[in-house]
Amino acid sequence: MTPDVLTSPVEPANRQRLDRWSAQLLRLSSLLLVTTVWISAALFGLYILAYYASALYQGDMARWNQVLPRLYEQTTTAATTGIGLHFAAGGIILILGSIQLVDSVRTRFPAVHRWVGRVYVVACVIAALGGLAFILMKGTIGGSAMNVGFALYGLLMLVAAVATYRYAVLGDMVRHRAWALRLYALAIGSWLYRIEYGFWVMLTDGLGHTKTFDGWFDRFMAFFFYLPNLLVVEVFVRASHRRAAPIARIAGSLVLLAATTFLIVGTYYFTLYYWGPAISNWITGAPQGRLGQ
């Protein structure tokens, strides 16, 4: 009698092949995502330094308001200092955080990984505190929804930074790695915020967005720019567990590949029209145009 293939157990050899294939797929998809994030986040980090730091150096602080109004006002020096520290530290963490994701650096140069990690964690704390200080002293342009969403973002970054450092000191590398990934997912939030807005404006002509950032889409984005990042990290952390089922690894790989495709398109668009021109102008000394063009 022919056995029922739907109820018969999978042959051990087939199960082992499926385990190896799904694990390899997860590794490749995660490598592709990390590479994409590394390149894109590094470009955005350079853009932050080129556009915002150069505005400070050139004495053209009003340029900050072209992206988000009311970031700079002469009457709110303390709040401006806080957001300035947030921007400066943000550029640093986007570049250093990407380096921390490279396996060869961690394994071949552990001392470099540790020292870069310390600077990275301190920069994350400064970025979080700077942003929180700005919200407490001045508030965001978008009102209560943006205040709550951005404040929660800053608090989560503080928690992740402390946990990342704590588990490294304790020698719990499994939890350290998980919290380091969560911290990085939060650290790239400001970068994703711009990419997601860019896609939305391009596809819907800014539906639900207002100049004062209090439209329904603006309120949604006050939380969306970082919470899905944490969800992707949790999927990856659980899928990469040794005991994870092959189907979980495959599902995790599909999530990572979808995120990679989104980031590749967004990176191309923003580098072509915003980040690239701003970085080029910074290097050549040419005047910065509107929105970094």
Predicted TM-score of the model (pTM): 0.74
pLDDT tens per residue across all 293 residues of the chain: 445 444 445 456 676 777 777 778 877 887 888 788 778 877 877 777 777 766 666 666 666 666 666 666 767 777 777 777 777 787 778 778 777 777 777 788 888 889 988 999 999 999 999 889 989 988 888 899 999 999 999 999 999 999 999 999 999 988 998 999 899 889 888 778 888 887 888 789 889 999 888 999 999 999 998 998 888 888 777 766 656 677 777 877 887 788 888 888 888 888 887 778 878 877 777 666 554 44
pLDDT at 162: 94
CA distances from 25 to 10, 66, 170, 240 (A): 20, 43, 32, 11
Q: Are 103 and 183 in contact (CB under 8 A)?
A: no
The predicted-structure confidence for 163-190, as pLDDT tens digits, reads as follows 999 999 999 988 998 999 899 889 888 7
Q: What pLDDT score was predicted for residue 293?
A: 43
Rounded CA separation 121/123 (Å): 5
